[in-house]
Structure 1
Amino acid sequence: MDSLHLVHVKLLAADLLSLASRHTSPPSFARCGRTVARAEVVGVVVSRDRREKFLRFLVDDGTGCVPCILWLNHQYLNANDSSSRASDSDPTAEMALKMSELVSLGTLLRVRGRIVLYRGAIQIAVRDVVLEKDPNVEVLHWLQCVHMAKECYDLQPPSA
């Protein structure tokens, strides 16, 4: 099995949003034939919509906008998401509420989580959010994405 599905793959929005969806249950995604399940993006929050059970927001990295969903009610998520495993569960409600306070318009964030399909569109089911104070982080993320794509992500998987 391809080990790329075990890590948060550093991706630019344009790359994330262009992943090929595989028709499996639960849905999985491919980049150059390799399975990608988790992603990390860095960008500026350009939209924010808070509801009782979730916070939906967009992160813009200059190549596109990544839709993100942060579930605020941990019990609700586990009861309704049979694909969620205990070892890969989303943050507890308390942690999620603290992370949701970091998400405000114009802030630079690092977001990591599972790649999921919602109404046919790719989004990130957020696992963690980090407020970035250094504006150079965005450019460094771009450089890391390009380097990792060239050296790791875009290599053909080993044949079995």
Structure 2
Amino acid sequence: MQAAAMDPADEPPSMLWGLDPIFSAFARLYIRDILQMTESIQVPGVYFYNSHPIYKVDVLGTVVYKREREDFFCYGVDDGTGVINCMCWKSDLLKEKEDPGKSAGKHSDAALGGFNPVAELKKLRQAQQNRCHLEIGELIRVRGLVKTSRQQREIKASTYYKVNDPVMATQIAWMMEVPQLYRQCYDKPFQLQHDATGDTAVSSLSKATNIIKDFIKQRSVSRFRPYDVQDLLQPLVSGQPQTSSADQEPVAGPSACQQLRQLLKETLGILQDEGIIYRKVKSQDEVYHVTAQDKDLLIAVKDIIREDSKREKYAEKGCHILHILSAVRQRYSLNVSRAALELILKSLECNSDVISTSENHYTMF
């Protein structure tokens, strides 16, 4: 079922979505509601349930159909309210095939009571295969992004596994928890809280985000620390004491300094979510790198695509963005987000350094 898009007048501005705690969580929605959610006009791939912006979900249900391909499984998941297709990518362990010649003579250490890493790895691979190969009628839990493909709503799984639930304890706990989430969160419309001045708290956050973006663009900054930009946000913080509406007497509240630090923290969080900045190394010295100005990251991404595009596995379609992201995190920094990588790939594609062969595949000639 394909739901219609939301009326732009009813859709909250995308700058405010991060204020809704549901936006950053895997929403445990019924499949019926996932199929009926309206898609955002501003950002395709983000959907709305009762004005809550949602792009990733968490479902538990029974497998009612399955298809297997070389790189992924397609499971039809039914939670009793509807059926949705879940695309579950295979890990490298699942796609690797053991070489019989390599396993010969490797059980001698285990026979002598020693630790055999090859045998242990084989056990881990077998355990993972058992959790990822599901049959019709088995219980599966899937977490991932909501997508629309060929006019059909589906979930692209980031995590999935078979749930062993012989006495239905997991299903009962799920059925008790989800209705509470609906009552306490999902069925309550997302509303912005107004501060004492009558302006929304987000207006300051939106202004602060634009101020930092302008600072980065105008100064061509490659990296900075929070105290380098803190003073830029000072005009947005009121130094007047908060008063109660009844008697206009001062009431306890955060100081101007505390408000400034909190505003800066939330602003940097938004910029990280958008991929504009990231922290190469998380340490006490809080340094933020500007993604578009990080030449070392750009070179690292180009090298990965250049090298791996020559491999037979990626020769036809190119490297998938998740493969590139994994390689970047291994070779360059664990803290590079997908949003930051997408900005780099967009820049490389604009300069004709890389070519996108499909929505999420990139190659280089």
Q: Aligned letter for 1:130?
A: Y
Task: Give the structure 1 partner of residue 185 of structure 2.
Answer: 152
Max Rg structure: 2
Q: How does 1:119-158 map to 2 (within 5 A)?
A: 119-134=150-165, 135-158=168-191
> More deviation in 16-25 or 41-50?
16-25
Contact conserved, 2:132 with 2:161, CA < 8 A, in 1? no
> More deviation in 30-39 or 128-137?
128-137
Equivalent residue in structure 2 for 1:114, among 136, 145, 166: 145
- Partner deviation per Cα, 1:97-127 (whole Å, 9 max, x = no partner): 8467332211111111111111122111011
Length-normalised TM-score, structure 2: 0.36
SS of residue paired to 2:159: strand
Equivalent residue in structure 1 for 2:46, among 15, 23, 28: 28
Q: Structure 2 stretches of 5 or more lacking a match?
A: 1-17, 97-127, 193-199, 201-365
Contact conserved, 1:10 with 1:144, CA < 8 A, in 2? no
CA distance in 1, matches of 2:42, 2:135: 35
Q: Aligned letter for 1:148?
A: L
- 1:5 CA displacement: 1.6
Q: Aligned letter for 2:155?
A: I
Q: How does 1:68-87 map to 2 (within 5 A)?
A: 68-72=86-90
- 1:6 CA displacement: 0.9
Higher relative contact order (CA 8 A, sep 6+): 1
Task: Give the structure 2 partner of residue 7 of structure 1.
Answer: 25
- 1:96 CA displacement: 8.4
- 1:32 CA displacement: 0.4
Task: Give the structure 1 partner of residue 109 of structure 2.
Answer: none
Task: Give the structure 2 partner of residue 78 of structure 1.
Answer: none
Contact conserved, 1:11 with 1:40, CA < 8 A, in 2? yes
Contact conserved, 2:30 with 2:79, CA < 8 A, in 1? yes
1:93 matched to 2:92:
yes
SS of residue paired to 2:86: strand
Say if 1:51 and 1:143 are closer, same or farther in 2 by CA, change over 3 A.
Answer: same
Say if 1:24 and 1:70 are closer, same or farther in 2 by CA, change over 3 A.
Answer: farther
Equivalent residue in structure 2 for 1:59, among 67, 74, 77: 77
- Partner deviation per Cα, 1:34-82 (whole Å, 9 max, x = no partner): 101111111111110011232111011111112100123xxxxxxxxxx
Where is the helix percentage greater, Structure 1 or Structure 2?
A: 2
Where is the strand percentage greater, Structure 1 or Structure 2?
A: 1
Runs of 4+ deviating beyond 6 Å: none
- 1:11 CA displacement: 1.4
Contact conserved, 2:45 with 2:146, CA < 8 A, in 1? no
Say if 1:21 and 1:133 are closer, same or farther in 2 by CA, change over 3 A.
Answer: same
Q: Aligned letter for 2:60?
A: V
CA distance in 1, matches of 2:175, 2:169: 10
Task: Give the structure 2 partner of residue 86 of structure 1.
Answer: none
Identity %: 23
Q: Aligned letter for 1:34?
A: H
